[in-house]
Chains A and B, each alone.
Chain A
Amino acid sequence: AQSVTQLGSHVSVSEGALVLLRCNYSSSVPPYLFWYVQYPNQGLQLLLKYTTGATLVKGINGFEAEFKKSETSFHLTKPSAHMSDAAEYFCAVSNSGGGADGLTFGKGTHLIIQP
C-alpha cells in the first residue's frame, strides 16, 4: 500500500522568502510523484511530476522538487515566495505515471504568505 505524509498542515512564510513544503512517501514499487496546487473553490492543478530520469524536477510558477530515494522524500521548493502562491498544496504518489491508476494524496499543506 502507498501513503504520503506532508509535514505541517500550515506553513507561513514572508513574501520573498524561501518556500519549503515537505513530503515523504511510502511505496512498495518505484513511485511516480506529483505536486498539485488548489486555489479556493477550484480543482487541483498539476505543479510538477517525477516519473523517471532526472531527480530534480522543475514545474510551473517557479516551483521545483527533488526526488530523494534514500530519504523517501519529494519536497517542494520555491526560492522567493509571491503573494499569489497562497494556496493548498498536495503531494501525491502513484504506481504508474498517474494516468492509469488512482493517486494517493497527502493531507495537504496550506501555504500562507505574509506581506
Chain B
Amino acid sequence: DAGVIQSPRHEVTEMGQEVTLRCKPISGHDYLFWYRQTMMRGLELLIYFNNNVPIDDSGMPEDRFSAKMPNASFSTLKIQPSEPRDSAVYFCASSLGSRRGNQPQHFGDGTRLSIL
C-alpha cells in the first residue's frame, strides 16, 4: 500500500511569498496530523484533523499559518506571507483513530522548506 505522500519534497522561496504544502494520507485513515521539525524546537504538532474536521490547532504558530482538509484524501498547509523563521521540515502523518484500537501514526517523507 502507498504510504503518506507529501509534495513538494523541497521548496525554496523568497520571504513574503505564499507557500502551500500538500499531503495525501493513507487510504482509510481518519486522522491526519501536521508536524514541524526544526533544530531548535524539535518535532512539534501544528494541527490535526479527524474525519476532515480540525480538532486541535493550538500548535499553529500564528495567523499566517492555515490548514485545510477538503476531503478524506487531501490536506494542505499554507503559509502566507512566509518568513525566514518558517524554514523547517514539515511532516504529515495519518492514522486510524482509537475506535480501531491502538493504531500508530504513519509519517510521510516531509517537505523541506527554505524561506530566503
Contacts and interface: CB of A to CB of B under 8 A. Distances in A.
Nearest to A90: B43
Nearest to B29: A99
A97 B91 CA distance: 19
Nearest to A106: B42
Interface in A91-115: 96-108
B104 A100 contact: no
A100 B97 CA distance: 5
Nearest to A45: B107
A60 B78 CA distance: 35
A102 B100 contact: no
B39 to A, nearest CB: 10
Contacts of A107: 42
A104 B104 CA distance: 13
Interface in A1-49: 32, 34, 36, 41-46, 49
A100 B31 contact: yes
Contacts of B108: 43
B95 A99 contact: yes
Given A43-B4, A44-B91, A99-B100, A104 B105 contact: no
By CB atoms of chain B within 10 A, which of A43, A97, A106, A107 has the most?
A43
Interface of A: 32, 34, 36, 41-46, 49, 51-52, 90, 96-108
